[in-house]
Amino acid sequence: MGNWDFVGRTGELDRFIRAADNASSTETRGLILSGDPGIGKSRLLCEATRTLPADQYAVFSASATIGATGLPFGSLAQVLPPDPPAGLSAPGLLRWAAGALRSDGGARRLVLAVDDVHLLDRTSAALIHLLVREGATLLGTRRTGEPAPAPIAALWTEGLVVNADLLPLSTEESRELLTSMLGGPLETTSARQLSRFAGGNPLLLRELVMAARQGGEISRSYGMWRWTGKLTLAPSLADLVDARIGGLTPGVRDVLELVAFGEPIGLHLVLQGCVPADAEAAEERGLIRVTEDGRRRDVRLAHPLYGEVVRQHCPATRSRRLHATLADLVGSTGARRRDDLLRVAVWRLDSGTAQDGGMLLDAAVQAFGRFDLGLAQRLAGAAWTHGAGYDAAELLSTVLLFADRPDEALAALDRADGPPARRLIARATVAFWGQGRADTADELARARIDDPADEARARAVESLMRMQLLQLRQARALAGQVLADPAAGTPSTDMARSVLAFLAAAGGDPAASTDLLAPVAADTGGWRRENPTLQFVLPMALGTRVAVALDLAGIDGILTDEFADLVQAGGFGVGSAWVSLLQAQAAWLRGRTDTAMAACEQACAALTANRLYEGNVHAYRAHVAALRGESDTAREALAAADRAPGSCNGPDYPWLTRCRAWVAAATGDLIGAVRLLQDVVQRLRVDGFAGHELLALHDLVRLGRPELAADRMAALLESVPGGPVAPLLLRHARAAADSSAEGLLAIARDFQGRGYLTFAAEAAATSVRLFRAARDPQALAASTLLGDVLARCDVLRTPALRTVQPALTTRERQVAELAADGAKSREIADQLFLSPRTVENHLQRVYAKLGVNGRVELAPALRSLPQ
């Protein structure tokens, strides 16, 4: 994989550089950063010294090694002359070495860059101490826990050198480093897991990536790297971890193994299961750490990889015994913590002592609630084996459906005898959403079900199917029927509420949608076991509400909720893609199209193997590419969407058609884009999707046809409330229809203040165009605002922006930028080897292309152009 780029560590790098810069003006003359092996100390020191100008600093770099500790000046042999004068005393030898370095440095400031100062030999340490006291700067690194030679330690006790800790890389810095290592982005969950295992240590992160690539556990799809989650411990990685752990006494090994299989585990349980003195020894050696959370004290291993190594080295028989011990220890306390049930169930399985099918089923429900599909499948299967009955088979079937394995889901149902109505509904659910069989809704409608509660449940599921098939009147009627049915149980009524909430959101009434969903979200315990498909139906309805309303705060709330993290980590491809698309929408609305494209690619990677829903994510990728002006990518993504066979996802047609319209606009077919939007507006009006209709009408405004949209938008908002930004969308339409440059400028400022930077840029661009056409001096203010907004955005090349972003030649751009910086024509001519007349001719062409009247307006106009 070779060397990787230096990323992150900007604060620490600046601190090293400031230590060198300020050494002559402060009493502090250096900095030593201490950290664990592989944390990046040496690379950081190298990068810092590389930035120091050679004409100002005489940098002498050395790496101390254990092999040179017994040799006089052995650590600095790399920078000292090879032959010292004969017959010198020890003090004289020290003066000779100091003089040699000063002589080589000349008038420049002396900087000693020493890696691993704790390994310095005595004479080298004494020389550094002498030079620093006489004004030289020391930049050094030290391994945490290793004592420094007395002369070096004296420097920081005397206040001449600062000794500070180098902290592990943050998760974001680790992700940036992973991108550099792999040559492309890593999807969120994979990056988070690898970062956690490495513990912020760059060397361990590199070894993990190398092992994953060699083992075929990491692959690339749609430009996004994805890790399977299977940890491969290559010999080099295992050696690194073994070196950290070191030799273990049997007692300390017992402590490490118990914690490795049980972390986090209560301190009282560790002391109960091991000899307390051994636990103390493990903590003193830095192998375990005790954390406090209120009155709880939990024990974890000091590094995540310790657990992997310890578990892999543990014999199978001892592993089973340890799992049984952990289950007994936690079970004896009453399993009081939220996670205890799940942990005990897994330990019972792993120790071969599982007997209680009911307990395993409860644990499977809990695992599914976290979207840990692999664990939920294992527990549900075990619950079925241990006599939990049809409930376990139905949960297993649902888990397999969520994991995109519908055939296995049906097989799980076929193996179990259960209530006929429930089996019918469960099979219909898998056939419809897993296999794309649209006729399942009619089969369910024809079924004769005697029990009123089961009948209500069947009608609730059918209502969701009818909605997916765009049979909206039937969907609404069935859901209303379920809510009015006294025999309907909580899972049935909550399903019906979710359907009506989805329709209310699509219909432009987010407040009604919120009211419908509130009792569903508050009563997860009432449906999670009996109707686990609501696990995703509820978030889907919530997401539709905030997406159609363009509610940025609401989208952020979903993305920061525990659900988003769980669904992306648990192997639920459709859910992971759904979260990524919400992230993409929030990002492009804010002008962050780089983030939006990365999120779309992550969604595509999540649904690579899903034939029913992958078309949607490709269409959204096409939309973002179109906003960026990347017409080839947009066409390719739309073609991929068209090839996908998707079915049973009818309510997505408003999004898909709008994506298609934006691709047409990006490829120059504005007439076709407008026609697509007009057609979908008519269809949305018939379906009663007023919320979606408002967005499609606003797209017409953004594409320069506000006269086709403004009146209808006003009529819509008289009948439905719309989302929080709906009134601003209407103001945008009216100002654009009236060609009000002043109104558009005010609206652009309002969009900017509320975070909708893409809309702000487009409104400002239209304002600039109108002001310039009227030769109004307010064009300068509008152009300045446009430049300010675009400076906060990634790539944006929508039709509205292209009207004020003409193409300049390279020479025109050079001349214009110099003129905007204040250079006079003669100065520009001299710098570019042109005549002043040629410069003036270039400027006149630039003024004409940009629609500006002179140099005063040039700078903001240039800022609105793509860089």
Q: Is the dihedral of CA 482, 486, 487, 492 positive or negative?
A: positive
Interval 456-487: pLDDT, tens: 999 999 999 999 999 999 999 999 999 999 99
pLDDT value for 134: 87
- What angle, 0 to 180 degrees and rounded to 10, lies between the N-to-C axes of helices 490-506 and 690-702? 30
Confidence check: pLDDT of 570 > 60: no
Tell me how long the chain is.
Answer: 867
Q: How far is CA 147 from CA 117, 150, 154, 524, in A?
A: 9, 9, 12, 56
**Which among 151-160, 235-244, 345-354, 776-785 has the top mean pLDDT?**
345-354
Torsion angle, CA of 854/808/851/732, rounded to 10 degrees?
-130
pLDDT value for 596: 95
Between 827 and 442, whose confidence is greater? 442
Question: Could you tell me the pTM of the whole model?
Answer: 0.78
Between 480 and 210, whose confidence is greater? 480
Lowest mean pLDDT among 52-66, 516-530, 633-647, 684-698: 516-530
Q: How far is CA 330 from CA 205, 383, 545, 686, in A?
A: 33, 20, 42, 59
Confidence check: pLDDT of 528 > 70: no
The rounded percent of the chain whose pLDDT value lies above 90 is: 44
DSSP state of 436: -
Residue 494 · residue 534 · CB < 8 Å: yes
**Which among 27-36, 477-486, 490-499, 553-562 has the top mean pLDDT?**
477-486
Predicted confidence band of residue 546 (pLDDT cuts 50, 70, 90): very high
**Which among 67-76, 87-96, 386-395, 642-651 has the top mean pLDDT?**
386-395
**Closest CA relative to residue 422, chosen from 385, 454, 395:** 454
**Mean pLDDT across the stretch 493-519?**
94
Q: Map residue 141 onto helix, strand or coil.
A: strand
**Closest CA relative to residue 498, chosen from 516, 477, 511, 512:** 516
Q: How far is CA 833 from CA 822, 830, 838, in A?
A: 18, 5, 10
The secondary structure element, H or E, covering residue 729 is helix 726-737
Q: Is the dihedral of CA 644, 648, 653, 654 positive or negative?
A: negative
pLDDT value for 520: 87
Lowest mean pLDDT among 116-130, 761-775, 812-826: 812-826
CA distance 279 to 839: 79
Residue type, 380: A
CA distance 764 to 783: 7
Q: How far is CA 116 from CA 66, 77, 79, 83, 123, in A?
A: 10, 15, 16, 25, 15
E strands present in 9-56: 30-35
pLDDT value for 531: 73
The secondary structure element, H or E, covering residue 114 is strand 109-115
Interval 732-777: pLDDT, tens: 999 999 999 999 999 999 999 999 999 999 999 999 999 988 888 8
Predicted confidence band of residue 691 (pLDDT cuts 50, 70, 90): very high
Confidence check: pLDDT of 571 > 70: no
pLDDT value for 447: 92
**Mean pLDDT across the stretch 715-720?**
94
Q: How far is CA 565 from CA 227, 522, 558, 590, 616, in A?
A: 16, 20, 10, 22, 22
**Closest CA relative to residue 343, chosen from 357, 362, 328, 363:** 363
Interval 404-444: pLDDT, tens: 899 999 999 998 888 999 999 999 999 998 888 999 999 99
Lowest mean pLDDT among 99-103, 760-764, 814-818: 814-818
The secondary structure element, H or E, covering residue 788 is helix 779-791
**Mean pLDDT across the stretch 521-545?**
77
Between 537 and 649, whose confidence is greater? 537
Confidence check: pLDDT of 564 > 80: no
Lowest mean pLDDT among 81-90, 175-184, 265-274: 81-90
pLDDT value for 610: 62
CA distance 655 to 676: 12
Mean residue pLDDT across the chain: 87
CA distance 625 to 664: 12
CA distance 367 to 342: 7
Predicted confidence band of residue 488 (pLDDT cuts 50, 70, 90): very high
DSSP state of 186: B
Residue 785 · residue 656 · CB < 8 Å: no
